[in-house]
């Protein structure tokens, strides 16, 4: 059984049919994320409510900081959801990290000239996977496109994931900001492959992909902890539920929650506790326990008319871990 890659621009066509060229698997993950960022580049105004909620979280976090020297935004992308000027006003240096170079350049171009010197960009893979041998094996499997070969690579990846080195950032930060990144660490690229796969292949891969996504998010929380100064803070926002009625077809969440505007925090807590199957893959991690959480904020991210995310934002500070 062969698998085939779909273009993420939602055309439902393969890269070849849509973009007129095949994308080598070595670059397809970055290409995929970069296309998504291109598609959402014009959403700055439409997402102002989402960005204001992130700004509220950041302003709460400032109460807990001893100093405001350095801040990093992980998965910064176009920064449609990041109040960049506010960060520039409150920190001496702001580092923007993403795997997609073009989106960071777009974000910087919105800054007033007098602020530019405070900002630096970092092009990195936050999972650290692209530095590993397993990644090469994965790429080879993708080139061959046989689902069994692909499955064997996924198994190798799952078995070795915890031993992978973290991406090298090399500094600590007073504030680490991460907005709606955890759900993007593995699944988007993989799910761009699945729709063309036979049902059996799809079923076999879904479980392992969920496991790998969860392990990657667990690692990501360790990275958040490592990057933060002991008296620093993390602002983390995560898209925990997706409400989707695209094509007049309600997803599982939209069948349970008809009107997402009626949701309040108690209802969200109930859903998190008792409707685990509705929670978006990779949105939260058991490693949240590595942090104290003095502040939580929930909001609706109106992505499009028929697609919204329920976002939970946290102000976190690192617990001191026993050696």
Contact by Cβ (8 Å): 53, 311? yes
CA neighbor of 294 nearest in space, from 235, 246, 254: 235
Q: What's the token pair of residue 103?
A: 């989106």
When binding is defined by CB under 6 A, the residue of 103, 214, 238, 283 that contacts ligand SAM is: 103
CB of 53 to ligand SAM, least distance (A): 13
Contact by Cβ (8 Å): 62, 68? yes
Helices (H), the chain: 15-19, 25-39, 48-62, 84-90, 101-108, 133-144, 147-160, 187-191, 199-227, 252-256, 265-274
Looking at 78-86, 142-150, 258-266, 286-294, which segment touches ligand SAM (CB under 6 A)? 78-86
Q: Is 227 in the site for ligand SAM (CB under 6 A)?
A: no
CA angle 134, 211, 72 (to 5 degrees): 75
Return d(Cα 83, Cα 59) in angstroms, integer.
11
Is the Cβ of residue 32 or residue 229 nearer to ligand SAM in the bound state?
Answer: 32
Q: Is 212 in the site for ligand SAM (CB under 6 A)?
A: no
Strand partners, 310: 241, 300
DSSP state of 65: -
Q: Is 76 in the site for ligand SAM (CB under 6 A)?
A: yes
Is the Cβ of residue 14 or residue 48 nearer to ligand SAM in the bound state?
Answer: 48
Q: Is 79 in the site for ligand SAM (CB under 6 A)?
A: yes
**Strands (DSSP E) found in the chain:** 70-74, 93-98, 119-123, 173-179, 228-244, 291-304, 307-318
Q: Is 94 in the site for ligand SAM (CB under 6 A)?
A: no
Q: Is 280 in the site for ligand SAM (CB under 6 A)?
A: no
- Please give the residues from 121 up to 150 whose contact with ligand SAM meets the rule CB under 6 A: 125-127
When binding is defined by CB under 6 A, the residue of 28, 61, 78, 238 that contacts ligand SAM is: 78
Residue reference for tokens 């939970």? 312
When binding is defined by CB under 6 A, the residue of 57, 81, 177, 309 that contacts ligand SAM is: 81
Q: Is 181 in the site for ligand SAM (CB under 6 A)?
A: yes
Is the Cβ of residue 147 or residue 301 nearer to ligand SAM in the bound state?
Answer: 301
Q: Is 185 in the site for ligand SAM (CB under 6 A)?
A: yes
CB of 204 to ligand SAM, least distance (A): 24
Residues 6+ apart with CB under 8 A from 287: 217, 218, 221, 222, 225
Return d(Cα 13, Cα 255) in angstroms, integer.
28
Cα-to-chain-centroid distance, residue 138: 21
When binding is defined by CB under 6 A, the residue of 176, 179, 205, 227 that contacts ligand SAM is: 179
Q: Do strands 307-318 and 228-244 pair parallel, antiparallel, or not at all (unpaired)?
A: antiparallel
Q: Is 237 in the site for ligand SAM (CB under 6 A)?
A: no
Q: Is 37 in the site for ligand SAM (CB under 6 A)?
A: yes
Q: Is 184 in the site for ligand SAM (CB under 6 A)?
A: yes
When binding is defined by CB under 6 A, the residue of 87, 99, 237, 316 that contacts ligand SAM is: 99
CA neighbor of 189 nearest in space, from 209, 163, 161, 167: 209
Q: Is 238 in the site for ligand SAM (CB under 6 A)?
A: no
Q: Is 217 in the site for ligand SAM (CB under 6 A)?
A: no
Contact by Cβ (8 Å): 56, 298? no
Is the Cβ of residue 99 or residue 154 nearer to ligand SAM in the bound state?
Answer: 99
When binding is defined by CB under 6 A, the residue of 5, 8, 32, 40 that contacts ligand SAM is: 40
Considering only the C-alpha atoms of the chain, give the largest distance between any 2 of them, rounded to a whole number of Å. 57
Report the interface residues with ligand SAM, using CB under 6 A: 33, 37, 40, 75-82, 98-100, 103, 125-127, 179-181, 184-185
């Amino acid at each position: 059984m062969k698998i085939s890659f779909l273009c993420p621009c939602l055309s439902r066509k393969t890269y070849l049919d849509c973009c007129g060229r095949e994308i080598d698997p070595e670059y397809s993950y970055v290409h995929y994320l970069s296309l998504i960022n291109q598609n959402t580049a014009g959403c700055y105004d439409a997402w102002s409510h989402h960005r204001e909620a992130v700004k509220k979280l950041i302003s709460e976090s400032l109460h807990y900081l001893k100093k405001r020297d350095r801040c990093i935004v992980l998965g910064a992308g176009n920064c449609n959801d990041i109040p960049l000027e506010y960060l520039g006003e409150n920190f001496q240096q702001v580092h923007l990290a993403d795997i997609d170079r073009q989106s960071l350049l777009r974000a910087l171009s919105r800054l007033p000239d007098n602020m530019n010197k405070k900002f630096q960009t970092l092009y990195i893979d936050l999972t650290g996977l692209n530095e590993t041998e397993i990644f090469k094996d994965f790429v080879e499997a993708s080139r061959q496109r046989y689902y069994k070969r692909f499955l064997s690579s996924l198994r190798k990846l799952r078995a070795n994931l915890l031993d992978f080195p973290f991406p090298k950032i090399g500094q600590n930060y007073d504030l680490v900001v991460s907005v709606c990144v955890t759900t993007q660490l593995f699944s988007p690229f993989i799910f761009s492959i699945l729709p063309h796969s036979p049902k059996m292949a799809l079923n076999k891969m879904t479980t392992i992909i969920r496991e790998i996504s969860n392990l990657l998010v667990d690692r990501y929380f360790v990275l958040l902890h490592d990057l933060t100064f002991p008296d620093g803070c993390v602002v983390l926002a995560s898209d925990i539920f997706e409400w989707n009625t695209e094509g007049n077809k309600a997803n599982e969440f939209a069948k349970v929650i008809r009107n997402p505007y009626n949701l309040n925090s108690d209802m969200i807590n109930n859903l998190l506790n008792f409707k685990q199957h509705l929670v978006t893959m990779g949105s939260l991690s058991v490693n949240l326990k590595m942090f104290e959480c003095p502040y939580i904020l929930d909001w609706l991210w109106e992505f499009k008319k028929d697609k919204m995310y329920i976002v939970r934002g946290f102000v976190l500070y690192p617990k001191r871990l026993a050696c």
